[in-house]
Amino acid sequence: MKIKWLLVISIVLLAILAPVSAADDIVVTTEAVKDKIPYDGTLRYVITITNNQDYADKFLFSSTPSQLGQSTLWSFKPQTVSVPSGGSEDVVFDLTPPKDIRVGTYGLDIIVYSSTDTSIKGYSSIRFEITSEYPHLEATIEMPGELYPGTLPVSVIIENDGAKTQDNLTAVFESELFGAYDLEIGSLNPGETRLVLNEEVEIPTSTEPGYYTSKVVFYKNGEFVDETEKDITVFGKGNLAVSHDIKKGILTNKYSVTLTNVGNAESNEKWNADFASWKRILVKSNPEQLDVIVTDGTATFEWPIILQPGESTTINYQISYSPILATILALLFFVYVVYWYFGEAFSLKKEARKTKGHIEVKLLIKNKTPEIQHNIIIEDMVPTPLKLVKEFGTKTPTAIKKLKSGTKMSWKFRHLGPFEEVILTYGIKSRLSVVGTLTLPAAVLKAKVGKSLKKFYSNSFSLTGKVSVKEEEPEEQAF
């Protein structure tokens, strides 16, 4: 039983000690020539290989720099070395860390292989320190990744993601869509973020659909440092630009509307024009409208518009008030004809007022038509016992005739112009004391209107015993 346990323990010890014995055949030692460098420096170590095997061997070397980054540069000089049994050889190991390595302490393994059987013969670990770092700058571009052309807000936020303060920084925000912006940054402390751009940019509506790139490029002391990119997808959209040409006349307003598709895709839509609903019968267009929709007193004319990018079309329409004017003129003519046929062509009014020693009587005559009237006769009577006073003003009667009932006066006019007015005057006084009321008869105007001889009468007056005058309404008289 004891023998079995001794065998087991022996086997375990052999398994544990066997690698150590093998490793002792090759001794790998490292000596640091330069193990503290800035981010853009190069590490250097001298690796000594001691061959304790009982035969000469040729060795290869490897390391594990991938943990530092894919862009790590490293080399062994020479790449292979032959070491006799019991001898030693030196190999120089150089390593340039990746540009974006950060400040800190790092470690790597140096691995030694045999070129005869490719087995690992030994290894050694090295440690080194990075004392500075390349600027670690990040940019966040805040704008839609998918968009239509037009105006949109754009902002850029930058961050110092490194462990060191960065000075003398500038940046350029550039895009294939809208040009470039220069960004003055200055210095950024570790972990600091800053809004460096907040603008509305205009992406031309004619921008072709497709994929575009926007990016922020960082510079330190005028030299390129890093950049951040963002991919943008632009979709297609029709966009109509409208220009108007208006010519206003006395009776007709003419409109010319030019529509141009300034977008980056086909435009298939309707163009509208609104009018007061009562005007829709006055509108004529070329091309003709597709439809007219009337709502709440508004008539909306619609034209279909289908245009490819860059294409244009013109809609011409006019509002003519000539039909309204023609209707008004027709109505006026109708009223004129009716008035001419049925209305009074003349007005005749009789007035009286007291003056010293007599009463002055006025006859006011007016041609109420736009036509010249010919051969007009005005007649008036001064009844007994009143006496005519021959104060006739500007026109003396053509004839004065004494009758038993009084004195009759006549005035003749060869013509009266359109809307012409004439005033005739004469005086009267009483021969006897008048007791009660004495009426002055209405004056009469005779003229040929059209093809008919017509008479027009004035109003009449009543005189009291003291020769006071009281105006009365004219009586209806046939003629």
Peptide bond into 385 cis (omega under 30): yes
pLDDT at 20: 39
User: Please, which pLDDT band fits residue 434 given cuts at 50, 70 and 90?
Assistant: low
- Per-residue tokens: 80: 């292979």
User: Please, which pLDDT band fits residue 416 given cuts at 50, 70 and 90?
Assistant: very high
Better-predicted residue by pLDDT, 37 or 476: 37
Per-residue pLDDT of 308-321, as tens digits, reads: 888 899 999 888 88
Q: Are 159 and 138 spatial neighbours (Cβ–Cβ below 8 Å)? A: yes
Better-predicted residue by pLDDT, 342 or 397: 397
User: Please, which pLDDT band fits residue 471 given cuts at 50, 70 and 90?
Assistant: very low
Q: Are 441 and 383 spatial neighbours (Cβ–Cβ below 8 Å)? A: yes
pLDDT at 431: 62
pLDDT at 433: 59
Nearest-CA neighbor of 208 among 247, 177, 169, 250?
177
pLDDT at 376: 93
Radius of gyration of the chain (CA): 60
pLDDT at 182: 94
How many CB atoms are located within 10 Å of the residue 67 CB?
A: 10
Per-residue pLDDT of 130-139, as tens digits, reads: 998 888 999 9
pTM reported for the whole predicted model: 0.50
CATH architecture of the domain with residue range 137-234: Sandwich (2.60)
User: Please, which pLDDT band fits residue 140 given cuts at 50, 70 and 90?
Assistant: very high
Tell me the pLDDT of the chain averaged across its residues. Answer: 84
Percent of the residues in the chain that have a pLDDT greater than 70, as a whole number: 88
Q: Give me the residues paired with residue 329 across strands.
A: none
Topology given in CATH for the domain delimited by 21-130: Immunoglobulin-like (2.60.40)
For tokens 């570790």, name the residue. Answer: 190
Q: Quote the longest CA-to-CA distance of the chain.
A: 191
pLDDT at 338: 62
Give the residue-averaged pLDDT of 1-20: 38
**Would the CATH topology of 21-130 be identical to that of 344-472?**
yes
For residue 186, give the H/E element and its range.
Answer: strand 179-188
User: Please, which pLDDT band fits residue 473 given cuts at 50, 70 and 90?
Assistant: very low
pLDDT of residue 183 exceeding 50, the answer is yes
pLDDT at 191: 92
Residue spans per domain, the chain: 21-130, 137-234, 240-323, 344-472
pLDDT of residue 197 exceeding 80, the answer is yes
Per-residue pLDDT of 354-395, as tens digits, reads: 887 788 899 999 999 899 999 999 999 988 888 888 888 888
Rounded-to-10 torsion of CA 463, 469, 474, 477: 30
Rounded-to-integer distance, Cα 356 and Cα 361, Å: 13
Highest mean pLDDT among 2-16, 247-261, 452-466: 247-261
Answer CATH for 344-472 from 1.10.8.60, 1.10.10.10, 1.20.1300.10, 2.60.40.690: 2.60.40.690
User: Please, which pLDDT band fits residue 37 given cuts at 50, 70 and 90?
Assistant: very high
- Which residues 6+ apart lie within 8 Å of 253 measured at CB? 246, 247, 318, 319
Give the residue-averaged pLDDT of 266-278: 86
Percent of the residues in the chain that have a pLDDT greater than 90, as a whole number: 41
pLDDT at 144: 92
User: Please, which pLDDT band fits residue 405 given cuts at 50, 70 and 90?
Assistant: confident
Give the lowest-confidence range in 192-196, 247-251, 353-357.
353-357
Rounded-to-integer distance, Cα 372 and Cα 99, Å: 111
pLDDT of residue 2 exceeding 90, the answer is no
Give the residue-averaged pLDDT of 99-126: 87
What is the DSSP code (8-state) at residue 190? T
| Dihedral pair phi/psi, residue 85, rounded to 5° | -60, 125
What's the CATH number for 240-323?
Answer: 2.60.40.1170
Better-predicted residue by pLDDT, 378 or 282: 378
Q: What angle do CA 135, 141, 142 make, to 5 degrees?
A: 145
User: Please, which pLDDT band fits residue 8 given cuts at 50, 70 and 90?
Assistant: very low
Better-predicted residue by pLDDT, 142 or 336: 142
Alpha carbons within 13 angstroms on the beta-carbon side of residue 119 total 9
